[in-house]
């Protein structure tokens, strides 16, 4: 019982966020892992779009996040190393540079992004100084759409990809559970 209260308190602390995604509003989700008597409720700033309101990822989207994800897809599909590195935070560029310098990984990555037929932003949440977004990709050759989590950080007025959260336990559990929630809603 103490662990659940501590976890909930930690989540509330983390969601008193400092990220400033323009389109965000306060969200409240009751996760199915709770019980009717003791629900697990998460509040955060962000957006959850229904299937009909998912935001098309394109260069002309009204959403800054969707426009950024479009640039990420195009940079990765192009195999242009400098364009790919420009999508990442300064802190991550060295690690990403090592990966994209391997021709086998660069080709596999590029092939994946070239096979994306369409993408939709189905939701995002602010997490401290980060913005965690969920994008549904329709990928040629895959039997069903793929939900990808993109952790972003704001730099000035633009977003950048980041791996800062790769060792963050709360992020990994929360992002996974929110992704499962979004997927269960048929997004």
Domains of the chain with bracketed CATH = 2-184 (3.10.450.50)
Q: Is 18 left (phi over 0), alpha (psi -120 to 50) or beta?
A: alpha
Given a cut of 70, whether residue 8 has pLDDT beyond it is no
Q: What is the mean pLDDT of residues 99-103?
A: 93
Of residues 109, 119, 98, the one with CA closest to residue 76: 109
* Mean pLDDT (whole number) for 54-67: 95
pLDDT beyond 60 at 2: no
Q: What's the farthest any 2 CA atoms get from each other in the chain?
A: 54
Q: Above 70 in pLDDT, residue 17?
A: no
Q: Report the predicted TM-score, pTM, of the whole model to 2 decimal places.
A: 0.80
């Amino acid at each position: 019982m103490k662990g659940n209260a501590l976890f909930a308190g930690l989540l509330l602390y983390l969601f008193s966020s400092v990220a400033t995604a323009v389109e965000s509003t306060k969200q409240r989700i009751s996760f199915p892992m709770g019980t009717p008597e003791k629900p697990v409720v998460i509040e955060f700033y962000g957006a959850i779009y229904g299937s009909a309101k998912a935001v098309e990822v394109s260069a002309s989207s009204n959403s800054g996040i969707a426009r950024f994800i479009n640039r990420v897809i195009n940079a990765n599909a192009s195999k242009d190393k400098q364009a790919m590195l420009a999508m990442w935070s300064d802190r991550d560029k060295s690690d990403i540079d090592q990966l994209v310098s391997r021709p086998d990984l660069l080709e596999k990555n590029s092939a994946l992004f070239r096979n994306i037929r369409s993408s939709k932003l189905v939701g995002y949440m602010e997490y401290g100084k980060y913005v965690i977004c969920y994008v549904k990709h329709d990928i040629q050759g895959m039997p069903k759409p793929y939900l990808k989590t993109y952790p972003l950080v704001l730099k000035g007025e633009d977003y950048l990809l980041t791996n800062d959260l790769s060792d963050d336990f709360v992020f990994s559990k929360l992002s996974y559970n929110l992704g499962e929630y979004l997927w269960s809603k048929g997004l």
